[in-house]
Amino acid sequence: MYQLYPVPAFQDNYIWMLQHPKQPGLAVAIDPGQSEPVTAWLDQNNLKLAAILVTHHHPDHTGGIAQLSGDGVPVYGPADSPFAGITHPLNDGDLIELLGQPLSIKAVPGHTLDHIAYYTPIEESSSGCQLFCGDTLFIAGCGRLFEGTADMMYHSLAKLSTLPADSQVYCAHEYTLANLAFANSVTPDN
C-alpha cells in the first residue's frame, strides 16, 4: 500500500502525494491544481516527482501540471479528457503500476464526463483498498453534476460501493462540514 500525504491547495483542495517503500526518493502527485505546494513538499522531503495522476479536467485539479511535468514527468489521466496535458491516457478497467504498486482504473462519470478513479487492488494481507476518487465521492456527499447526469453519478457511486467496506477513501476536497450541514438541513430529524 502507498504511504499518503495530503498537501493542501487553494481553500479546500487536497493534492495527495504517494510514496512507496519499493521506490524510495520518488513520489506521485494526484490532481495538482497548483504546482507551488507540490514543489515545496517535494523539496522539503528531498523527493523527486515520478508521475502525476489526474482524475478529471477541472483547473483546480490540473492547473499545476504544466509546471510540474516540464522534465518529462508522465501524466496519467482519462483517455477522453479535454485536458491536453495527459501523456498516458487511461480507460475503465486499465491497470498501471507506479512506484512498484499496481493501480486499477474505474470510469466514474457524473461530476464530469471524463472522471476516473484510481484504486489499489486488494492485497492478500488486507480486504480493503486505497481509493483516490477525485470529486466523485466525499465524506457525507458526492460531487456536483457539472457535465454528467444524476443517473451517471448514481451508477458511478454504485461502482465504488462494490469495493470492500474497509477501503480507505481519499477525496480531493474537504467538504465534510458543509455536506453534514446540508444533510442536516434536508433531514433535520435523521
The set of catalytic residues is: 56, 58, 60-61, 111, 135, 173
End-to-end CA distance of the chain: 36
Element at 142 (helix H, strand E): strand 141-142
DSSP structure string for 18-51 = EE-TTSTTEEEEES-S-SHHHHHHHHHTT-EEEE
Cα separation, 75 vs 81, whole angstroms: 12
Taking every pair of C-alpha atoms in the chain, what is the biggest distance, in angstroms? 54
Q: What's phi and psi for 58, nearest 5 deg?
A: -60, 140
Cα separation, 83 vs 85, whole angstroms: 6
